[in-house]
Structure 1
Amino acid sequence: MTSIEASPKHAAGPRFGARFTLLLIALLWPAQLLSVIGLLAGNAQAQITVHFQTTQIAWFTLTTALVGTFVTPFVVKAANMYGKKRVMVVITVLGLAGDLIAALATSYSALLVGRGVAGFYTPIAMLVYAISRDVFPPRLVGPASGLIGGGVGLVALGGPFLSGWLVDHHGFRGVLWFLVAATALSLVLLLAFVPESPVREERTRIDWLGGLLLGGGLAAIVYGVGKGAEWGWTGGSTLAFIGGGIVALIAFLVVEGRVPHPMFDLSLLARRQVWTVVLATSLIGGTVFSAGTINQLLGLMPRIPGVSDGLGFTATRLAVIGIPGSVLIVAVAVTAGALARRIDARVLLAAGALCAAAGLGLMALFHHSVPQLVLSGIPFGIGMGTVAALAPIMVIQAVSPSEQSLGNGMQGMAQGIVTTVVTQLIFVVLAQNGRVLQGTQFYLDAGYTNAFWLAAGFTVAGLLAVLLIPKVRRLDEAEVGQAAT
Structure 2
Amino acid sequence: MSLTTASSQQESETSRFGARYALILVALLWAVQLSPIVGLLVGNSQSEIAIHFHTTRIAWFSQTSSLVGIFLLPFVVKAAGIYGKKRVMLVAIALGLVGDLIAATATSYSTLLVGRGLAGIYGPIAALGYAMARDVFPRRMVGQASGFLGGGIGLVALGGPFLSGWVIDSWGFRGALWFMAIATALSLVLVLVFVPESPVREEHARMDWIGGLLLGGGLAAAIYGIGEGSQWGWTSGKTLGFIGGGLVAVIAFAFVERRVANPLFPLALLKRRQVWTVLLATSVIAGAIYSVGTVAQLLALMPKIPTISDGLGWSVTHNALINAPASVLIVVMAVVTGALARRIDARILLGIGAVLTTTGYGFASHFHHTAPQLMITGIVAAIGMGMIVSATPIMIIEAVAPAEQALANGAQNLTAGVAQVVFTQLAFTVLARGGTVMKGTQFYRDSGFTHGYWLICGVCLVGAALALLVPRAKRIDEVDAGQAAA
TM-score (norm 1): 0.96
CA positional deviation for 1:33: 1.2
The 2-side partners of 1:79 and 1:130 are apart by: 10
The 1-side partners of 2:60 and 2:114 are apart by: 11
Contact 2:292 2:453 in 1 (8 A): yes
Contact 2:70 2:216 in 1 (8 A): yes
The correspondence of residues 49-448 of structure 1 with structure 2, limited to 5 A, is: 49-448=50-449
Q: Which amino acid aligns with 2:464?
A: L
CA positional deviation for 1:481: 4.1
The 2-side partners of 1:111 and 1:100 are apart by: 10
Contact 1:134 1:484 in 2 (8 A): no
SS of 2:469's partner is: coil
Contact 2:291 2:420 in 1 (8 A): yes
Query: Unaligned stretches of 5+ in structure 1?
Result: 1-8
CA positional deviation for 1:206: 1.6
How far does the alpha carbon of each residue in 1:362-400 deviate from its partner, in whole angstroms, 9 at most, with x for none? Answer: 110100001100000011101111111111110000000
In the alignment, what sits opposite 1:4?
none
SS of 2:437's partner is: strand
In the alignment, what sits opposite 2:3?
none
SS of 2:33's partner is: helix
How far does the alpha carbon of each residue in 1:87-122 deviate from its partner, in whole angstroms, 9 at most, with x for none? Answer: 000000011011000001010000000000001101
The 2-side partners of 1:273 and 1:392 are apart by: 14
* 1:453 has 2:478 as partner: no
Contact 1:136 1:484 in 2 (8 A): no
SS of 1:412's partner is: helix
Contact 2:431 2:449 in 1 (8 A): yes
Say if 1:465 and 1:14 are closer, same or farther in 2 by CA, change over 3 A. Answer: farther
TM-score (norm 2): 0.96
Say if 1:341 and 1:313 are closer, same or farther in 2 by CA, change over 3 A. Answer: same
In the alignment, what sits opposite 2:5?
none
How far does the alpha carbon of each residue in 1:431-462 deviate from its partner, in whole angstroms, 9 at most, with x for none? Answer: 11210001000000000000000000000110
Q: Which amino acid aligns with 2:223?
A: V
Say if 1:100 and 1:203 are closer, same or farther in 2 by CA, change over 3 A. Answer: farther
Q: Which amino acid aligns with 2:177?
A: L
Contact 1:141 1:481 in 2 (8 A): no
Equivalent pairs counted in the alignment come to 475
The 1-side partners of 2:67 and 2:241 are apart by: 17
How far does the alpha carbon of each residue in 1:410-450 deviate from its partner, in whole angstroms, 9 at most, with x for none? Answer: 00000000000000000000011210001000000000000
How far does the alpha carbon of each residue in 1:337-376 deviate from its partner, in whole angstroms, 9 at most, with x for none? Answer: 1111110001100000000010000110100001100000
Contact 1:228 1:238 in 2 (8 A): yes
The 2-side partners of 1:337 and 1:16 are apart by: 22
The 2-side partners of 1:363 and 1:90 are apart by: 41
CA positional deviation for 1:14: 11
The 1-side partners of 2:261 and 2:144 are apart by: 38
How far does the alpha carbon of each residue in 1:181-210 deviate from its partner, in whole angstroms, 9 at most, with x for none? Answer: 110000000011000010101233321111
Say if 1:186 and 1:18 are closer, same or farther in 2 by CA, change over 3 A. Answer: same
Say if 1:91 and 1:61 are closer, same or farther in 2 by CA, change over 3 A. Answer: same
SS of 1:365's partner is: coil
In the alignment, what sits opposite 1:3?
none
The 1-side partners of 2:391 and 2:298 are apart by: 28
CA positional deviation for 1:309: 0.1
Contact 2:128 2:409 in 1 (8 A): yes
User: Which runs of structure 1 show a deviation greater than 6 angstroms over 4 or more consecutive aligned residues?
Assistant: 13-16
Say if 1:15 and 1:303 are closer, same or farther in 2 by CA, change over 3 A. Answer: farther
The 2-side partners of 1:167 and 1:275 are apart by: 41
Q: Which amino acid aligns with 1:461?
A: V
The 2-side partners of 1:120 and 1:425 are apart by: 24
SS of 1:261's partner is: coil
CA positional deviation for 1:56: 0.4
Contact 2:103 2:116 in 1 (8 A): yes
CA positional deviation for 1:292: 1.2
The 2-side partners of 1:16 and 1:439 are apart by: 57
The 1-side partners of 2:326 and 2:107 are apart by: 36
The 2-side partners of 1:14 and 1:249 are apart by: 50
Say if 1:15 and 1:268 are closer, same or farther in 2 by CA, change over 3 A. Answer: farther
Contact 1:299 1:310 in 2 (8 A): yes
Q: Which amino acid aligns with 1:235?
A: S
CA positional deviation for 1:277: 0.3
The 1-side partners of 2:215 and 2:204 are apart by: 20
Contact 2:403 2:482 in 1 (8 A): no
How far does the alpha carbon of each residue in 1:294-352 deviate from its partner, in whole angstroms, 9 at most, with x for none? Answer: 11000000000110000000110000000110010010000001111110001100000
Say if 1:50 and 1:137 are closer, same or farther in 2 by CA, change over 3 A. Answer: same
SS of 1:436's partner is: strand
The 2-side partners of 1:58 and 1:203 are apart by: 42
Q: Which amino acid aligns with 2:199?
A: P
Query: Unaligned stretches of 5+ in structure 2?
Result: 1-9
The 2-side partners of 1:14 and 1:156 are apart by: 31
Contact 1:14 1:139 in 2 (8 A): no
CA positional deviation for 1:16: 7.7
Contact 1:397 1:473 in 2 (8 A): yes
